[in-house]
Structure 1
Amino acid sequence: MRIALWQTPHPAAGDVAAALRRLEEAAARAAAQGAQWLVTPEMALTGYLIAPERLAELAEPADGPLAQAVAALARRHRLGIAYGWPERHPDGAKPWNAVQAIGPDGHRLAVHRKVHLFGAADRERFTAGEALAAPFEWGGWRIGLLICFDVEQPAAVRALARQGAQLILAPTANMIPYDDAPCLTLPRLAAESRVAIAYANACGAEGDTRYGGLSTLVGLRGQVLAQAGRGPALLIADIPD
């Protein structure tokens, strides 16, 4: 399995059109290098720590215009895409912090809503998800989805592994100074559960918050297969069978 991790700053002021253009560029580059899946950061298409009211305005259902745009992009480049966006809550509550996996044929495969919200900033903007999404089958692999603080929870990683997951795709917006997550926690949890983890982090800043980069691909035995630096990057690496 060849994975591309797109390490990028969040779009300015919720500029979704600019984010989609940049995603198109990243997908074209990833596909040209033989990647089968592209993983974006958490909230990559709208911005993350923007005003809660603006975030709620940008929220869409899982089959909304953003999903349709990503599906078209996936079909065009024959590339699976796991992307982060705010999912509209049907009851009018705060949106969910969500990741959706869309296959190379443009079909929606799974949605996960972040269960473990991190701090007041998350709680101010989002409704917590109630359960982990079940892994989905693709290309002979069983693939799970988690988001940022979720993938740091041993119980969450173990639960997906017990359901047969061999790979977890994890959009992330991990902040400086929490480098222990990609450098220590992920290798340990991957080794314990015998599951690979594709962790795509943001970089740059939103207001006073600086994101740490260090997007990381961890193998089934906890080995770090590839890791980005602090700045923008398209990290592409293979997970051995």
Structure 2
Amino acid sequence: MRIAVWQARGPDAGSERLTAAVARAAAAGADVLVTPELFATGYGVPFGGPDPDLLPRVRRAAAEHGVAVVVSEPHDGHVTAVVVGPDGEVLGRYAKTHLWGDDERAAFTAGDGTPLLVDLAGERCAVVICYDVEFPEVVRSLAVAGARTVLVPTALDDPAVARVLVPARAMENGVAIAYANQCDDPFCGTSLIVGPDGTVLARAGEEEELLVADVVRPAGLTDYLGDRRPEVYRLGRAERRGTSW
């Protein structure tokens, strides 16, 4: 599977730069293009409102160039990400489960955690948004459900997430991750594509950029999923017994 990640500045009224990025991804042979969180309508206070023409434009571009596209937009009070197939058909929509900070929580309602898994280029792919990927349980549950690649639109100002957490999520679950960040102030760029062994296959700097990488499963991956022992894991608070814990 060949993945393209577009690190972009927002907003992109009229989706002109988005349409051009779809064409560039297709010319590079990509099967799917992942774009940042809410970049087209604008991320930040005040958050941009829904653009009723955004999804139709993305569908036309995807069908014209034969490449799947993941695009994030506000929808019905949620931060969402939509997967459009290479034929222009909408394959599904995901609502962000973990909202970041008071501003997001004031503007949006958190999703209920319903996962989105779709097949792209013969690969089982899942979609989450930004802060979601920082929770180990989220990516683990998707891997257990059969996801082999996780596509992540994001808008973030902390490069440590891309440097530390994203490769860790990939390696500990044996999944590839495509992480597409915004790069205008205050966002930090550093978008990346990571293989299922945690190897960084492509990484952006701080400017607008298109990353492209082929994702393969190397031999000898540690089978963390297969070696789990869920029956012995104990979560929850300790119970007090007498005077000791």
> What range is the shorter-chain TM-score in?
0.7 to 0.9
Aligned residues: 217
3-state DSSP class of the match of 1:70?
helix
Q: Distance in 1 between matches of 2:154 and 2:100?
A: 12
1:16 aligned partner, one-letter code: A
3-state DSSP class of the match of 1:174?
coil
In structure 2, the partner of 1:192 is 172
The partner residue of 2:26 within 28, 31, 55 is: 31
For the aligned residues, what is the CA RMSD? 1.3
In structure 1, the partner of 2:16 is 21
**Conserved in 2, the CA contact under 8 Å of 1:134 and 1:163?**
no
Structure-to-structure mapping, 1:47-66, within 5 angstroms: 47-52=42-47, 55=48, 58-59=49-50, 64-66=52-54
1:44 aligned partner, one-letter code: F
Greater RCO (Cα-Cα under 8 Å, separation 6 or more) = 1
Q: Distance in 1 between matches of 2:167 and 2:175?
A: 10
TM-score between the two structures when normalised by the length of structure 2: 0.85
**CA deviation string 1:59-91 (max 9, x = no partner):** 26xxx532221111100111100011101x2xx
- The 1:118/1:234 distance shift into structure 2, 3 A limit, reads same
Larger Rg: 2
The partner residue of 2:196 within 207, 213, 220 is: 220
Unpaired runs of 5+ residues, structure 2, are: 218-245
In structure 2, the partner of 1:156 is 138
1:240 aligned onto 2:231? no
In structure 1, the partner of 2:232 is none
3-state DSSP class of the match of 2:18?
helix
In structure 1, the partner of 2:71 is 83
1:118 aligned onto 2:118? no
Bigger Cα displacement from structure 2, 122-131 vs 132-141: 132-141
TM-score between the two structures when normalised by the length of structure 1: 0.87
1:81 aligned partner, one-letter code: V
Percent of paired sites with the same residue: 41
**Conserved in 2, the CA contact under 8 Å of 1:213 and 1:229?**
yes
User: How many Å apart are 1:132 and its aligned residue?
Assistant: 3.3
In structure 2, the partner of 1:42 is 37
User: How many Å apart are 1:162 and its aligned residue?
Assistant: 0.8
User: How many Å apart are 1:236 and its aligned residue?
Assistant: 1.0
Structure-to-structure mapping, 1:206-217, within 5 angstroms: 210-217=186-193
Instruction: List structure 1 runs of 4+ shifted beyond 2 angstroms.
Output: none
Q: Distance in 2 between matches of 1:134 and 1:79?
A: 19
User: How many Å apart are 1:219 and its aligned residue?
Assistant: 0.5
3-state DSSP class of the match of 1:136?
strand
1:183 aligned partner, one-letter code: R
User: How many Å apart are 1:16 and its aligned residue?
Assistant: 2.5
3-state DSSP class of the match of 1:112?
strand
3-state DSSP class of the match of 1:185?
helix
User: How many Å apart are 1:173 and its aligned residue?
Assistant: 0.3
Q: Distance in 2 between matches of 1:48 and 1:187?
A: 25
In structure 2, the partner of 1:92 is none
The partner residue of 1:203 within 183, 198, 202 is: 183
In structure 2, the partner of 1:173 is 155
1:173 aligned partner, one-letter code: A
